[in-house]
Amino acid sequence: MTDHAILSGKRVLLVIAGGIAAYKSLELIRRLRERGVAVRAVLTAAAARFVTPLSVQALTEDTVYQDMWSLTDESEMGHIRLSREADLVVVAPATANLLARMAAGMADDLAATVLLATDTPVLVAPAMNVRMWTHAATRANMALLERRGVRRIGPNEGAMACNEFGPGRMAEPMEIVDAIAAFFAGEARKPLAGRRAIVTSGPTHEPIDPVRYIANRSSGKQGHAIAAALAALGAEVTLVSGPTQLPDPPGCTVRRIETAREMLAACEAALPADIAVCAAAVADWRVAGESDRKLKKDGGGPPALELTENPDILATLSRPGGRRPALVVGFAAETGDVLAYATAKRARKGCDWIVANDVSPGTGTFGGNDNTVHLIRASGVDSWPTMGKDAVAARLAEAVAGHFEGK
Ligand code: C5P
């Protein structure tokens, strides 16, 4: 479907907050109107200092809402109806201040009240000075909002109106239009609705003693992105995650664990499921007989750690039997001979698909945002170009949906 077909007839409530990027919101309204979107705008008091309500009104061809206490607006529309009579609420620009007020659940002006009252999905396009964006307070507010299901586009990195450089520029109007179209395209298509999925992600921590553990460098980015992508296609996702720095992906039930044995138990508790994707970097070994006291340097030289094998979660979930998910997908991170090792791994583990990638030093895969993967199925190998981990996740989720649709 073209953007126009997806967007035509949709109703967007555009909340414009007070930042210099508000000028781009005028362009955004134009591009949405061209595609047949009905746009209704709410301006904060600060926004009205950057763009005039008259411009916004002329472009939306609708009343502009600014005042909580306007008798006419409240009697004609009311802030509750205003928020509910939209298919999507878009906040652009989303300033640090408005994000903070949203995170805190404040209702101190019309924009914040509408955002608190709405049960409509919300997309924010943050725009602010780079230091404000990277400040711990904004990071925490944004992470909290994303956990609650708020979608985000941008900010982009680049030169800013305040003469600084870095992340903080509002996404370009057409990027926001594309994100809005992607939202509506996703809404229309839920090919995994009614399917249950288990996704493992992140590293495991295997204790040596009460303060030390064995771990690995997995960031969890790929696994978390897969959980979000499956949920976006309608699956009911349980994400079983080792310790990571990442926010919970929207729309997923998250089970946090530390050890491989806890990960296996959480996966088994999430059965039955139609789909299992094991993207976690599970420690192969744990310390046999971990100490319940901190090991001391007592002059006797370094302690010998005896290791014992951890359960293989992927192999366990792949075992034939009544509770085996219909589609089990494993990962193979290799550092050479990727296809040969990964193909052998598929057979050894008994899973249906393997997503293989090269994690040699220099590829930047571990902890990075990009991934170059090969999808290995019974039918053969599909090598995908290098792309962002979110894009890999979206493509994998589409392949999973295609599998169940019999494509
Ligand atoms: O054997 P290897 O660790 O290379 O296999 C990687 C795949 O197996 C990944 O999908 C990983 O999530 C899964 N795995 C697992 N439990 C383990 C070890 C690996 O689920 N104990």
Cα of 342 from ligand 1 centre, angstroms? 11
Question: Closest by alpha carbon to 367, among 219, 176, 237, 264?
Answer: 219
Residues involved in catalysis: 162
Residue 361 has pLDDT above 90, yes or no: no
Nearest atom, ligand 1, residue 311 CA: 21
Nearest atom, ligand 1, residue 284 CA: 21
Mean pLDDT is lowest, of 19-23, 82-86, 299-303, for: 299-303
Residue 53 has pLDDT above 90, yes or no: yes
CATH code at 191-291+300-404:
3.40.50.10300
Domains of the chain by residue range: 3-187, 191-291+300-404
Torsion of CA 65, 66, 72, 75, to 10 degrees: 70
Count helices and strands (H / E) in the chain. 16, 22
In short, whether 313's Cβ falls inside 6 Å of ligand 1 is yes
In short, whether 283's Cβ falls inside 6 Å of ligand 1 is no
Cα of 269 from ligand 1 centre, angstroms? 19
Residue 295 has what pLDDT?
87
Q: Which residue has the tokens 């009905």?
A: 38
Does this chain's domain 3-187 share its CATH topology with 191-291+300-404?
Answer: yes
Other beta carbons within 10 angstroms of residue 244's beta carbon come to 17
In short, whether 287's Cβ falls inside 6 Å of ligand 1 is no
Residue 72 has pLDDT above 70, yes or no: no
Cα of 353 from ligand 1 centre, angstroms? 13
Q: What is the arithmetic mean of pLDDT over 74-92? A: 82
pTM of the predicted structure, to 2 decimals: 0.69
Gyration radius of the chain's alpha carbons: 24
Can you identify the CATH homologous superfamily of domain 3-187?
A: Flavin prenyltransferase-like (3.40.50.1950)
Distances (CA, A) of 56 to 21, 182, 294: 14, 24, 64
Confidence band, pLDDT 50/70/90 cuts, at residue 335: confident
Nearest atom, ligand 1, residue 200 CA: 12
Beta carbons of 258 and 204 less than 8 angstroms apart: yes
Cα of 209 from ligand 1 centre, angstroms? 24
Residue 7 has pLDDT above 70, yes or no: yes
Q: Share the mean pLDDT of the chain.
A: 92
Percent of the chain clearing pLDDT 70 (strictly above): 97
